[in-house]
Amino acid sequence: MLADPDLTEADLERLVTRFYAAVRADADLGPIFNDAIADWPHHLGKLSAFWSSVMLLSGRYHGRPMQAHLLHADRITPELFGRWLALWSDTTDALFPPAVAARLQEKARRIGDSLQMGLRFYADPTRKAPHHDHA
């Protein structure tokens, strides 16, 4: 994958700021995000770094998104992922030309699918911890 030539760091910061303003105001998503995040300016910086790493291959993000989502797994449903993606689509459509918006939407959908698979995996009561033979 190559860095997206039609996006800049400033574009992604603007996207993250506008998108998470919508998330925070959303009746379904807002309570979950606002309960989980104490320092929004810091979190928006992390999210901008995440999207920079994803779309521009900048390597700026050094977090662990699965672990962050696992902390709130009891509140995260497939419907909420759908709502998140709908807001993401609305925001990207408003800010970018159609081809750029489509790339951002596809990337977000894939990331969301991966997070949902991971959440289901870790929530599976039949999953066994890996066995380590120290013989």
Nearest residue to 22 (alpha-carbon basis) of 51, 38, 44, 42: 44
CB burial readout 71-91, b (16+ within 10 A) else e: eeeeebeeeebebbbebbbeb
Element (H, E) at 24: helix 9-25
Q: What is the pLDDT of residues 81-124, one digit of tens each?
A: 899 999 999 999 999 999 999 999 999 999 888 777 766 665 55
Is the predicted pLDDT of residue 11 greater than 90, yes or no? yes
Tell me the C-alpha distance between 63 and 68, whole Å.
9
User: How does residue 38 score in pLDDT terms, banded at 50, 70 and 90?
Assistant: very high
Element (H, E) at 48: helix 40-56
Q: Which two tokens stand for residue 3?
A: 């860095």
Class at the top of the CATH hierarchy for domain 9-123: mainly alpha
Tell me the C-alpha distance between 41 and 47, whole Å.
10
How many angstroms separate the first and last alpha carbons of the chain? 42
pLDDT for position 57: 95
